[in-house]
Amino acid sequence: MSASDDQPRPENQKSVINFPQSRTQPKTSKTETRDLGVSRLAQQLGGVQANLRGHWCSQCKGIWYGFSGECECPVCGNRNG
């Protein structure tokens, strides 16, 4: 603590507490996100693009599109996101 820290601050002057995590960079990927296509169910039912939702596959490192309740990646069969 310095001598200036012992003195009270004026009412209009606020102190700022810096958090270390505010200076960290977000984790970035070295590879591009892959487009894994559309699920088999959406293809069979003729899903309109507006009705489909994007789902992430952590094994393929990509996004596939299907209906809200679907969970199986059309490329590798991963069901764990």
Question: What would the pLDDT profile of 19-61 be if each residue is shown by its tens digit?
Answer: 666 556 656 667 778 899 999 988 888 867 678 999 999 999 8
- Alpha carbon distance 81, 72 (integer Å): 8
What pTM was estimated for this model as a whole? 0.58
Domains of the chain: which residue ranges?
Answer: 32-81
